[in-house]
Amino acid sequence: HDLPKAIILVTDGMPNSSLRGYTDQDLANWADDSADRAGALGISIFTLFYSGNDGSPGASEYLAGLVRGEGTAHETPNPDDIDTELQDICLEGMTLMLVQ
C-alpha cells in the first residue's frame, strides 16, 4: 500500500529555545523551513496546539502557518481532548499511520 505521508505536530505553543546558541526565532525559522521541505516532498503537515497552558501569544496563527498539503490546524485548551483531536485528524479523509 502506498499510504500518504503526514506529520502531526503536537505542541503547547511557540518555539522556546533552551539550546545554547539558538534563539526562539531560529527554531521558528527551522520549523518553517522543515515544513516547506516536507510539503515539497508531498508530506502533509497537521498541527495540534494544546492551548491550555496559556503563555503562547500568536501560537494559533503561527502553527496554522505550518500546515502543508492536505493538513489542517487543530487546537484544544483541554488536555483530555488531545486523544480525540488526534483521532479527528486521522479521520479527515486521509489514511494515516500513527507512529510514536
| More confident site: 57 or 6 | 6
pLDDT of 91 reads: 83
Burial (0-12, 13-18, 19+ Cβ within 10 Å), 41: exposed
Q: Which helix (H) or strand (E) holds 31?
A: helix 24-40
A 10 A CB-CB count for 80 gives 8
Contact indicator for 69, 45 with CB cutoff of 8 Å: yes
pLDDT of 4 reads: 81
30-63, pLDDT tens digit by residue?
999 999 999 999 999 999 999 987 757 899 999 9
